[in-house]
Amino acid sequence: MIGTNPGLRNLWRALVLCAGMALLCGCADLFFATVGVIGSAKDVDEHTGLTFDAEHRLHLDVYAPKEAANAPVVVFFYGGSWVAGKRRWYRYVGEALASNGVVVIIPDYRKYPDVQFPSFMHDAAHAVAWAREHAREFGGDAQRLFVMGHSAGGQIAALLACDKRYLAAVDLQPRDLAGMIGLAGAYAFLPFVEHEPEIFGDDAHGRYDSQPINFVDGDEPPLLLLQGTADDEVPPHNAQAMAERAQAMDGTAHLKLYPGVGHSSILLAFARGHAGHSPALRDTLDFITATAAAKR
């Protein structure tokens, strides 16, 4: 364990320092790649590079508790502004949840400029269908399946949970999900900035369909929305407006705001050996435990 090993503890400090420098330079890619090299957990089985879409050469990684049986399952979508990101950088998220009894599946998806919206949504739906079909092979319970994401990945997870079209294409519906967990997710992010007009289409259709908040009708699964108040990349109003909309539609939404926590640092709560500034991991596990129990 890092907490009792001075060498690993010093390595962690050095990596966090490098990650902090990367953040100051605006290199989120380097930040997550740096955090992701922390040593593997001994209580977790890893299955990497599994193919879920041969046509598009898409793969996923599975992190499962050793000797798991009927464990809840989380499909985690990483962020990267729909243009960047690699699943292996988020091994630490998979291991953190798997070490606490959750089977975690981290898929890749196609990104801009190779594709535009909604192509990556179809990739995400296929990953969920794969997870439901194969959950038992890793000790998971397909009836207790969650989608989860950070930043752009939060938008993907939220659209799966709220816009019925994507799961319908793989013979599923949002209510087949036990819940949705968003960390600093983009749910109501107009006006578009940077490459977003090209990614989603800078017309009425693209502006409407890209916003998860537009599809909240009370028929979605329970939502857990985790958000740092110091986030200057995806402002807190995204989570706040999403929660208000769900509650107004008689849906279930749990909003957790973390004072002083930023856009990337919210994920550090999942890194082993890090005394994070937010209880995001504990709040996630509590939500999974409570919500999964209701699905039995």
pLDDT in tens, 15-65: 444 444 444 444 555 555 665 555 567 799 999 999 999 999 999 999 999
231 vs 251: CA distance, rounded Å: 26
The two three-digit tokens of residue 36, written as one number: 């992701």
Angle in degrees, 0-180, between the axes of helices 28-35 and 6-24, rounded to the nearest 10: 170
Q: Are strands 58-65 and 71-77 parallel, antiparallel or unpaired?
A: unpaired
**Percentage above 90 pLDDT, the chain:** 79
Q: Which of 2, 132, 124, 148 is nearest to 56 (CA)?
A: 124
210-265 pLDDT per residue, tens: 999 999 999 999 999 999 999 999 999 999 999 999 999 999 999 999 999 999 99
The two three-digit tokens of residue 218, written as one number: 């009370």
Q: pTM for the full model? A: 0.89
185 vs 221: CA distance, rounded Å: 16
The amino acid present at 96, given as its one-letter code, is A
For residue 292, give the 3-state DSSP assignment. Answer: helix
- Beta-ladder partners of 53: 58
Domain boundaries defined on the chain: 1-39, 43-295
Architecture of domain 43-295: 3-Layer(aba) Sandwich (3.40)
Tell me which residue has tokens 């007009």: 197
**Percentage above 70 pLDDT, the chain:** 84
- Report pLDDT for 94: 96
Tell me, rounded to whole angstroms, the distance of Cα 48 from its chain centroid.
18
Q: Which of 11, 3, 19 is nearest to 262 (CA)?
A: 19
